């Protein structure tokens, strides 16, 4: 009876190892399929992005306008490289507007105060109230 149980156990172990091997092969096949599907999907997305980029470049070169309503400069790339643009010697793009920054009222008041002007002179020069200038000076002098 003991030998019969050992033979049955041995057969069950062989069947179990066979099933484990078959399942392992199926899992490996699924992983390879998933990797291939992901690669195909990403290639498709990349192609769509390239096409959209090409359409955008074409639309820009045909005369889109910027936020001020001015036409965007056309590219003069003979080598087909979109990274090259027309610039002047000082590095400013053609048709580019220069930004002007204006200091805030508080910074101008504090600047004049640091230069030694009185509150009345600052108010007169900046067209603001004397009490406003004094208040700003007091607030920032405590910091």
pTM of the model: 0.33
Q: Are 111 and 118 in contact (CB under 8 A)?
A: no
What's the pLDDT at 113?
Answer: 92
Which residue has better confidence, 64 or 61?
Answer: 61
Q: Are 75 and 85 in contact (CB under 8 A)?
A: yes
The 10s digit of each residue's pLDDT in 3-49 is 889 999 999 999 999 999 999 998 888 877 777 777 888 888 889 89
Q: Are 132 and 98 in contact (CB under 8 A)?
A: no
Q: Would you give the DSSP letter of residue 94? A: T
What is the pLDDT averaged over residues 95-103?
70
Which residue has better confidence, 124 or 66?
Answer: 124
Residue with tokens 């096409």: 51
Which residue has better confidence, 68 or 28?
Answer: 28
> 5: Cβ–Cβ under 8 A, 6 or more apart, which residues?
none
């Amino acid at each position: 009876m003991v030998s019969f149980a050992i033979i049955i156990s041995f057969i069950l172990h062989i069947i179990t190892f066979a099933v484990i091997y078959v399942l392992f092969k199926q899992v490996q096949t699924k992983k390879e399929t998933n990797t291939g599907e992901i690669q195909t999907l990403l290639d498709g997305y990349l192609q769509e992005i390239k096409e959209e980029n090409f359409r955008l470049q074409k639309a820009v070169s045909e005369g889109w306008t910027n936020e001020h309503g001015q036409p965007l400069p056309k590219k003069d790339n003979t080598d087909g490289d979109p990274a090259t643009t027309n610039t002047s010697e000082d590095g400013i793009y053609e048709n580019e507007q220069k930004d002007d920054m204006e200091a805030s009222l508080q910074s101008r008041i504090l600047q004049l105060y640091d230069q030694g002007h009185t509150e009345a002179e600052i108010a007169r020069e900046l067209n603001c109230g004397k009490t406003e200038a004094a208040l700003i000076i007091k607030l920032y002098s405590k910091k």
